[in-house]
Amino acid sequence: MTSKNKVVIRIAGNDYTLVGVESDEYMQKIGLYIDKKMNEILFRNNRLSTSLAAVLTALNVADDFFKCRENEALLDKDKKAMRLELERMRSENTQLKEENSTLSSRNTSLQLELAKREAELGEVRSSIDKSNKSNKAMIQKPAIGYDM
């Protein structure tokens, strides 16, 4: 069995004893909130009776409550939308990582192919250079028995 706390609070100049399972600090906070709301109403119209001020305070607190619930519902809706967007982005991120991996592999393959082709090109150029040198040497050597 939970122990009950007993707290005296002051609302609009009157003392009230609250008994409950909530902490003393929490019950004091609730009392201060109601006292503030009721004093705001009485300040605006000091001719109101305490009971009418209490009813208006209750209406104001109910208004605060319902606005908070509406706000909570909107925030919950936003949170659900954000979660869906997060899941979509995670899925897209996974897809892009896979695509990046594929492209990276393709890039590596193409770089290897390029290196092979450059090596082949180097061999062809070297062969052409040797052939050109050989042809120049033949052109520069006079043929035997050729008179001018």
Per-residue pLDDT averaged across 12-36, rounded?
96
| CA 6 to chain CA centroid, nearest Å | 45
Share of the chain above pLDDT 70, in %: 93
CB-CB contact of 18 with 6 (8 Å): yes
Separation CA 82–CA 76 (nearest Å): 10
Which DSSP category does 2 fall into?
P
- pLDDT the model gives residue 145: 57
Q: Is the pLDDT of residue 143 over 60?
A: no
**Beta-ladder partners of 8:** 17
Per-residue pLDDT averaged across 40-58, rounded?
94
Mean pLDDT taken over the chain: 92
Q: Is the pLDDT of residue 130 over 90?
A: no
Which residue in 7, 44, 4 sits closest to 27, CA to CA? 7
Name the band, by pLDDT with cuts 50, 70 and 90, for residue 11.
very high
Per-residue pLDDT averaged across 97-124, rounded?
96
Residues 6+ apart with CB under 8 A from 48: 41, 42, 56
- pTM, rounded to two decimals: 0.60
Separation CA 107–CA 101 (nearest Å): 10
Name the band, by pLDDT with cuts 50, 70 and 90, for residue 5.
very high
Give the domain ranges of the chain. Answer: 1-48, 49-126
- pLDDT the model gives residue 135: 79
Per-residue pLDDT averaged across 111-123, rounded?
95
